A and B are shown apart, each in its own frame.
Chain A
Amino acid sequence: MSRPRLGVVKFASCDGCQLTLLDLEDELLAITDRVDVVEFPEATSARSKGPYDLLLVEGSVSTPEQAEEIVELRRRSAKLVTIGACATAGGIQALRNVAHHDSWRAAVYPEPAWIESLSTATPIAEHVTVDAELRGCPIAPGQLVEFLTATLVGRRPQLPDEAVCLECKRAGRVCVVVASGEPCLGPVTRTGCGALCPAFARGCYACFGPRESANVAGLRRGLVADGMTAAEVDERFAGFTAMAPAFAATASKAAAAYREGTVAEPTTDRVEVDDARR
């Protein structure tokens, strides 16, 4: 019986999600025993026109060319799965969706006319039907392995849609919001990373994107009550998943404040974790 054909392609992205696949090391070997990797830019120069049984797509659609390519790839794929914040939410580059794309282009490149890009960076799902998503920036190795295992075995992948808080509490971490007044987007963010950032006493910045029932308004009110300004709170949402629908309105406010020059003073950088808290 032929092995399933796996392809990994990238659009506008940093390749970090592809690297996560490579970082699987031994598990990667076990996986490549069972699938045919026909395309994977970070790992091989082999290229394929498809068809793919499973296509992992990294990156957001940022150029007119990419907008066409994704449609063609969808046609050639039995299952198409987006990986990472760029592919699932647009990524940090999607911040340009609410900014002045042309003026940025002119400010950055000496010959802006040579740069052909869309004014928006959009998630793959806005262009084609997506069969499943792996969130994260980058995706979590554990979720990737579970996903591939489930696909090979034939069961539904266990990718729970629940708050980061649940994983934080299972791991026995102390809540940075309650115990330190540190802003954290965990309650509105989908878990999958193992509550990584709170393990280092820093609040979650939502790189996995919004969870179901994300109550952004409620969290904003709560953080403001804790002493942050509304502007500081909005800024927290203007990150890697800023343009996910649940966060977009809040992130746009931060972007507007930035443009108008009313951006908030940055909060004290909490890189040092003082001894009393260890």
Chain B
Amino acid sequence: MTERRDLAASLATTWFGAELSPHARAAFLDLARVADLPPETEMTREGELTTEFGLVLSGRIALRLVVPGRGRTTILTVEPGDVVGWSAVVQPYRATSTAVTVGAVRALLVEAVALRAALRADDALAASLYPRLLETLARRLQGTRLQLLDLFSGQIEGAW
């Protein structure tokens, strides 16, 4: 189907998908559906079971944490080519932040349970997807560390 070929092409150009093996990309597409999500769609909620693993094709998703007394703070935005819902394949499969679409978003979504089953059954898929996921998380970890250092705050401590 042309639609599927188009999807395969899109997947191959995304940051996440480009480094997957062709087999992994095909397996992924077998499980995936394209979703067009309106703005303000909540895709995951912090603390609850993650139902879907997604790859953003266009648009932006904000990851937010609730801080009592401060409200919802966006700590990262997921851009085209990046993944949302990695907790779907990492125990305990609960979302670590609330993911909300900022504008309209088009994404490739895979149902969490199905993806986990496929990873258990298909070694080749696992051998390609897990390392890529690890790289994604490593990149986020490094980014988070720099954010944590709060480098842009220059205020010195103390009364003077």
By a beta-carbon cutoff of 8 Å, the part of chain A in contact with chain B is 79, 131-132, 150, 156-157
Q: Which chain B residues lie closer than 8 Å to A131 at the CB level?
A: 158-160
B159 nearest in chain A by CB position: A131
A157–B158 Cα distance when bound, in Å, is: 12
A156–B158 Cα distance when bound, in Å, is: 10
By a beta-carbon cutoff of 8 Å, the part of chain B in contact with chain A is 158-160
B158 nearest in chain A by CB position: A131
> Nearest chain A CB to B95's CB is how many angstroms away?
39
Going nearest first, the 7 A-B pairs with the smallest beta carbon separation are A131-B159, A156-B160, A79-B159, A132-B159, A131-B158, A157-B160, A132-B160
10 pairs of residues in contact across A and B, judged by CB atoms under 8 Å: A79-B159, A131-B158, A131-B159, A131-B160, A132-B158, A132-B159, A132-B160, A150-B160, A156-B160, A157-B160
B160 nearest in chain A by CB position: A156
Q: Which chain A residues lie closer than 8 Å to B160 at the CB level?
A: 131-132, 150, 156-157
A132–B158 Cα distance when bound, in Å, is: 8
A131 nearest in chain B by CB position: B159
A157–B160 Cα distance when bound, in Å, is: 8
> Nearest chain A CB to B156's CB is how many angstroms away?
9
> Nearest chain B CB to A146's CB is how many angstroms away?
12
A103–B102 Cα distance when bound, in Å, is: 72
> Nearest chain B CB to A76's CB is how many angstroms away?
16
> Nearest chain B CB to A238's CB is how many angstroms away?
31
Q: Which chain B residues lie closer than 8 Å to A156 at the CB level?
A: 160
Q: Which chain A residues lie closer than 8 Å to B159 at the CB level?
A: 79, 131-132
> Nearest chain A CB to B159's CB is how many angstroms away?
4
A157–B159 Cα distance when bound, in Å, is: 11
Q: Which chain B residues lie closer than 8 Å to A157 at the CB level?
A: 160
B156 nearest in chain A by CB position: A156
> Nearest chain A CB to B112's CB is how many angstroms away?
49
A121–B158 Cα distance when bound, in Å, is: 25
A131–B156 Cα distance when bound, in Å, is: 13
A131–B157 Cα distance when bound, in Å, is: 10
Q: Which chain A residues lie closer than 8 Å to B158 at the CB level?
A: 131-132
> Nearest chain B CB to A150's CB is how many angstroms away?
8
Supplied contacts A131-B159, A132-B160, 8 more A-B pairs, CB within 8 Å: A79-B159, A131-B158, A131-B160, A132-B158, A132-B159, A150-B160, A156-B160, A157-B160
A150–B160 Cα distance when bound, in Å, is: 10
A156–B160 Cα distance when bound, in Å, is: 6
> Nearest chain B CB to A62's CB is how many angstroms away?
26
